[in-house]
A and B are shown apart, each in its own frame.
Chain A
Amino acid sequence: GENVEQHPSTLSVQEGDSAVIKCTYSDSASNYFPWYKQELGKGPQLIIDIRSNVGEKKDQRIAVTLNKTAKHFSLHITETQPEDSAVYFCAADAGFQKLVFGTGTRLLVSP
């Protein structure tokens, strides 16, 4: 079955810097890769997703890149702000419409 690894587990940056979170997956049949942001005590919120027919997708300060050959995808946040501080999860579809999640990255943006 699908396995998703996520790095780093924690990431501290200064406000205005960029942050990059990387994920690898094992199942070459996976075609859908969402990223979720989870704030303390809340449910995950979808922030961006990408499908296998696209190599990159951007939404304002957030971008995701996908390398299907290498089976890895990354989240890029530019001009980070303190409100970006949260736990970020990557995921990959695992058949039967299920998602397999990475282990999460705790991002801390210091003012």
Chain B
Amino acid sequence: GAVVSQHPSWVICKSGTSVKIECRSLDFQATTMFWYRQFPKQSLMLMATSNEGSKATYEQGVEKDKFLINHASLTLSTLTVTSAHPEDSSFYICSARRSSGGALETQYFGPGTRLLVL
């Protein structure tokens, strides 16, 4: 299998605080992980591509200082929403690609993290 976990599954925080979301590939190594944001009843919007050991590549319009991404190992990437505001409330989903041993194009998604900023 190809299992991806996220933690926490949901978080409620006060405006101005920072929130860290973890994405782990449990049974495979992932050189590349992706972070998406999804609004209700909408499609997935790619925020950034995270490569192990290097800086993340952000999509146009995504503030890199607002959404800090760290990919410190082949099984873990983190997304930190800094100084969160109500407009950052959303469903954040990560995905991971295998480094080897199977279809390299396939992205396996985590269960998502629902963030609510009050």
Count, A-B residue pairs, CB within 8 A: 48
Interface residues in B67-112 by Cβ distance below 8 A to A read 93, 97, 103-112
Check A44 for interface membership: any CB of B closer than 8 A.
yes
Total contacting residues, chain A, CB less than 8 A: 20
Which DSSP category, helix, strand, loop or mixed, fits chain B's interface?
strand
Total contacting residues, chain B, CB less than 8 A: 23
Question: Given A44-B44, A44-B93, A89-B44, do A99 and B107 touch, yes or no (CB 8 Å)?
Answer: yes
Q: Determine the distance from Cα of A87 to Cα of B46 in the docked complex, in whole angstroms.
A: 18
Check B49 for interface membership: any CB of A closer than 8 A.
yes
| Interchain CB contact under 8 A, B49 and A43 | no
| Interchain CB contact under 8 A, A44 and B109 | yes
Interface residues in A34-48 by Cβ distance below 8 A to B read 34, 36, 41-46
Binding site for B on A (CB under 8 A): 32, 34, 36, 41-46, 49, 89, 93, 96-99, 101-104
Binding site for A on B (CB under 8 A): 4, 6, 32, 34, 42-44, 46, 49, 57, 93, 97, 103-112, 114
Q: A46-B106, A97-B104, A99-B107 are in contact. List 10 more A-B contacts (CB 8 A).
A: A32-B105, A34-B106, A46-B108, A49-B106, A89-B44, A96-B49, A96-B57, A97-B97, A103-B43, A104-B42
